[in-house]
Amino acid sequence: MSRNKRLAVKLIPVLTVALTTGCGPFGYLKKVAKDASRSVADAEAAGAEEHAPYEYWGSVTYLEQSKILMGYSEYERSFDYGERATQLAEEAKEKAELRKSGKMTQTADGSEDEAAGEGDEAAAEGDADASAEAEDGEASASVEAGASIGGGL
């Protein structure tokens, strides 16, 4: 056996281990190119662009940045951005599905109410308790805060 063949036979197991451990671009192909891209596509298909825009566009941006970092061979950071893209895409898909089914609504102040109607009942009970306390002779008060910007001249 020639010297080159013996060297090749010795290097085959080393190369096999290096290629299957998920190092460098090979890990990128699975984590980012496959998983994150699929998650973003699933979120888009669920209508996340309209129903969960923050999460959807965050996932798109993280995925794009992951691809850019991969081009600069910054594998670890690329993986991190890819994982974050996957997380945001899954959140976007969940929110979009909940909002489309009517199980989650967003109020004018930006807060979200996961079960429409359940929170309203609790608020009504709280108001009834407050009025009952006020009728029993206890004082009740409300505070309003306001601010103005500018000189007011």
The residue ranking higher by pLDDT, 72 or 144, is 72
Greater model confidence, 82 or 148: 82
Q: What does the pLDDT look like over 43-67, one tens digit per residue?
A: 999 999 999 999 999 999 999 999 8
Per-residue confidence (pLDDT) for residue 42, from 0 to 100? 95
- Per DSSP bridges, beta strands 112-113 and 105-106 are antiparallel
Report the C-alpha dihedral over residues 19, 23, 26, 27, rounded to 10 degrees. 130
Residue 6, pLDDT score: 73
With beta carbons less than 8 A apart as the criterion, state whether 43 and 56 touch: yes
For residue 101, what pLDDT is reported?
Answer: 87
Beta carbons of 121 and 114 less than 8 angstroms apart? no
Q: What pLDDT, on the 0 to 100 scale, is given for residue 84?
A: 95
- 0.75 exceeded by the pTM? no
The values of phi and psi at residue 30, to 5°, are: -80, -50
Quick one: pLDDT at residue 126? 47
pLDDT of residue 19: 55
pLDDT(25) > 90: no
What is the CB neighbour count within 10 angstroms for residue 79?
Answer: 20
**Model confidence pLDDT, tens digit, residues 87-145:** 999 999 999 999 988 877 665 455 565 554 444 444 444 444 444 444 555 555 555 55
Read off the pLDDT band of 11 (50, 70, 90): low
pLDDT at 131: 46
Q: Give the model's confidence band at 34: pLDDT under 50 very low, under 70 low, under 90 confident, else very high.
A: confident
Cβ atoms within 10 Å, residue 7: 10
